[in-house]
A and B are shown apart, each in its own frame.
Chain A
Amino acid sequence: MKKLLIKNARVLSPEDGIDEILDIVIRDRKIEKIGKRLTGDETMDMAGLVVCPGFIDMHVHLREPGYEEKETVYTGTKAGLRGGFIALACMANTKPVADNRATLEFILNQNQKAGFLKLYPIGAVTKGQKGEELAEIADIYAAGAVAISDDGKGINSCAIMRRALEYNKMFHGPLIVHAEEQTLAKDGMMNEGLVASLLGFHGIPREAEDVIVARDLELIASTDSSVHFAHVSTLRSTALIREAKKKGLPVSAEVTPHHLLLTDTAVKSFDTNTKVNPPLRTLNDIEALCEGLRDGTIDAIASDHAPHTFEDKDCEYSFAPFGISGVETSVPLMLTYIVKKGVLTLGDFVRKVSVNPAKILHLPLGTIREGTEANLTVLDLEASGEVDPEIFLSKGRNTPFKGWKYTGRAVYAIVDGRVNKIG
């Protein structure tokens, strides 16, 4: 078996306390050796590059089965690899909903055929994501789910939510919450506030998120069941999660790049690519989210990759579906506008996209250790370019970031020892 030598790279693994110029030898899918002046059969000189534990996007929508015109497991995972990820976790709002073993097995089977990266499906909490009856959660985990979520829809019933939390304690995955109180969010197109008032749109108030976060934190306290809050977008919910963590509750949270980089003023363009759920908020919220990232309240950055066809979004704002195709832009945008601007150090960023997602989903990833499978993301912090949706590998080209300049992106994604160069 040939030994691949990665030479002269800055190896950065916060979980292992490594941040220095080192060599890595990969053999038979695994990291055989980490050290200085190592030798191998094939050498890749990675001087100037940063080797990190493989990145995980813990929140994507791959649309298959059911909406293959928007995305398939093949195109979505290929796009994920281009984005610098070695693993994705995909949500259950497919058609049929991934609330059963057959659908989950189908998704995993499609990924095996695609073969680009690791895919971890998330099963539904309730049958058909209707928020009424629990799905067969044990069977969902047995089929390979790493968590359960009704993402895309909030679970309005307190009783169902409590029951789901209680039942989910038997299993290893968290319940991922889409915090949206549906009667408050009803008919909403964007953040409630001055901009919505000017544009004449029904707003989605912050309270639609905040009351569910508050409710669920109460329910977690009484059930001692773990919850992960998806796409946190408000100042208040960040504060609530911070308090809960201080109390030691089993809670984690993620934020998306678009909620960190765009405010609701972007909607003034009436560009349907700014229509997301939860909606783009305000500068106050962004500052709170950044603070939450810095102090550890928010554990992860995830893209909430939500691809749609051109036709889906080529319509009046009111009629467009929610979502941004984000898996290919997440890493370059975060490196440029979060790491380079000093919101996070590079090491902390790696925690948010690798170490913590691995911990939250209980995946054997997020580290660079001898003897473990070689799953690595390699960054070139100087590579510059601009976001061009025309070259996306995702079927979804729905991005509000078209033309945004970046400096820094992933240049290799190494999946189980297989090196993928990212063009």
Chain B
Amino acid sequence: MMEKGLHDIENLTREDLELVLQTSDTFLEICTRKVKKIPTLRGKTICLFFIEPSTRTRISFEIAAKRMSADVINFTASTSSLQKGESLTDTVKTIMAMGVDLFVLRHSAPGSSRKVEQVAGVPVINGGDGPHAHPTQAMLDLYTIYRHKKKFQDLKVAIIGDIFHSRVARSNIFSLTKMGVDVTLCGPPTLIPKEIEKLGVRVTYSVEDACRNADVIMCLRMQLERQQSGLFPSMREYIQLFRIDDRRFALAKDDAIIMHPGPMNRGIEITPEIAYHPRSVIEEQVTNGVAVRMALFYLLLGRGNEEITD
């Protein structure tokens, strides 16, 4: 799998995803140990190349790398030469001249992780490229679902909110449909990407319809800045139409779980009661994220280096 880096889910197979899930189990166990450290990536240097702000993804990757004994460089755009007008190509070349084994890239521009890999010649993990893809989030979501449901066949997942601007939604559509999950998208028509039904998903504008009999309800962050661009009339109206509350969550199956990639706007896309509901797995997603990212580092960089559990 992932000949070099990891850029999106679209180009992976079901077997690739299953391998990541299996490998993640091992690393989740490591994360529960008293001493959460293994030497698998000793001597490897990973650059966390974050051109766009991020908290959880960056920290999650950093913890994952450090637990595997990699050296980690944190690059943030606000303090870099990119601010002085240096091109992405030249910045990457400069970093490569100092010796880096893998990049994790967060960038606002779709496709930028491929661009970095072309220049760097080492694997790049896409940590989110604009609205295009967020493959590690999709993998940790898949892993979280699997840990609760133990299967994918016949599962119904509803993804609700601003699908248009969501890399999380795009990557989840690919990972879930590859595993045979029945996916329903729901949001205002102005926030549903054109022709997205062609990917084998169902689109509805009724949140009740989306929630009914769902096994998983996945809320997306409403990007508050989008309100300015007039894609929907007001936050008030959005809340009335799409917020997941007790009443709507009750339409789902009795054992349905609620997910959210974070950061949450409590009270907007989800009520606090639902965010902290016993069947909310939002914090667990964060925990699983570290294990999944360790698994990916291992698969891309660590195999053949040393035994996982040394």
Contacts and interface: CB of A to CB of B under 8 A. Distances in A.
Interface string A183-202: 00000000011101111110
B88 interface: yes
Interface string A245-277: 000000000000000000000000010000000
A194 B131 CA distance: 14
Interface string B107-119: 1111110110000
A199 B109 contact: no
A317 B130 CA distance: 11
Interface in A285-330: 311, 314-319
Contact of B109 (A196, A314, A317): A317
Contacts of A192: 194
A197 B89 contact: no
Contact of A316 (B112, B193, B196, B199): B112
Nearest to B109: A316
A316 B132 contact: no
A315 B167 contact: no
A270 B111 contact: yes
Contacts of B115: 270, 315-316
Contacts of B10: 198
B154 interface: no
A197 B196 CA distance: 7
A203 interface: yes
B89 to A, nearest CB: 6
Given A198-B170, A200-B132, A270-B114, A318 B109 contact: yes
Interface in A192-228: 192-194, 196-201, 203
Contacts of A199: 110-111, 132
Contacts of B130: 200, 318
Contacts of B114: 270
A316 B132 CA distance: 13
A270 B11 CA distance: 14
B87 A317 contact: no
A194 B195 contact: yes
A207 to B, nearest CB: 12
15 contacts: A194-B194, A194-B195, A194-B198, A198-B170, A199-B110, A200-B133, A270-B110, A270-B111, A270-B115, A314-B87, A314-B89, A315-B115, A316-B88, A316-B107, A316-B109
Contacts of A316: 88, 107, 109, 111-112, 115
Contacts of A314: 87, 89
Given A317-B110, A318-B108, 16 more contacts: A194-B194, A197-B194, A197-B196, A199-B110, A200-B131, A200-B133, A200-B167, A201-B131, A201-B132, A270-B111, A314-B89, A315-B87, A316-B107, A317-B109, A318-B109, A318-B130
Interface in A150-204: 192-194, 196-201, 203
B154 to A, nearest CB: 26
Given A317-B109, A317-B110, A318-B108, A200 B194 contact: no
A193 B107 CA distance: 23
Interface in A317-346: 317-319
Contacts of B110: 199-201, 270, 317-318
Interface of B: 10, 87-89, 107-112, 114-115, 129-133, 167, 170, 193-196, 198-199
Contacts of B195: 193-194, 197
A141 to B, nearest CB: 41
A234 to B, nearest CB: 15
B310 to A, nearest CB: 39
Q: Please provide the 9 A-B residue pairs with the shortest distance between their CB atoms, ordered closest to farther.
A: A270-B111, A200-B131, A197-B193, A316-B109, A200-B132, A194-B195, A318-B109, A200-B110, A316-B112
A200 B111 CA distance: 9
B6 to A, nearest CB: 15
B88 A315 contact: yes
Q: Which of B89, B110, B199 has the most CB of A within 10 A?
A: B110
A385 B107 CA distance: 39
Contacts of A196: 193-194
A194 to B, nearest CB: 4
A201 to B, nearest CB: 6
A314 B107 CA distance: 16
B194 to A, nearest CB: 5
Nearest to A195: B195
Contact of A317 (B111, B133, B194): B111
A188 B42 CA distance: 44
Contacts of B88: 315-316
A192 B196 CA distance: 11
A185 to B, nearest CB: 15
Contacts of B199: 194, 198
B246 to A, nearest CB: 33
A311 to B, nearest CB: 7
Nearest to B114: A270
Contacts of B133: 200
Contacts of B111: 199, 270, 316-317
B87 A200 contact: no
A305 B213 CA distance: 55
Nearest to B133: A200
Contacts of A200: 110, 129-133, 167, 170
A316 B114 CA distance: 10
B261 to A, nearest CB: 15
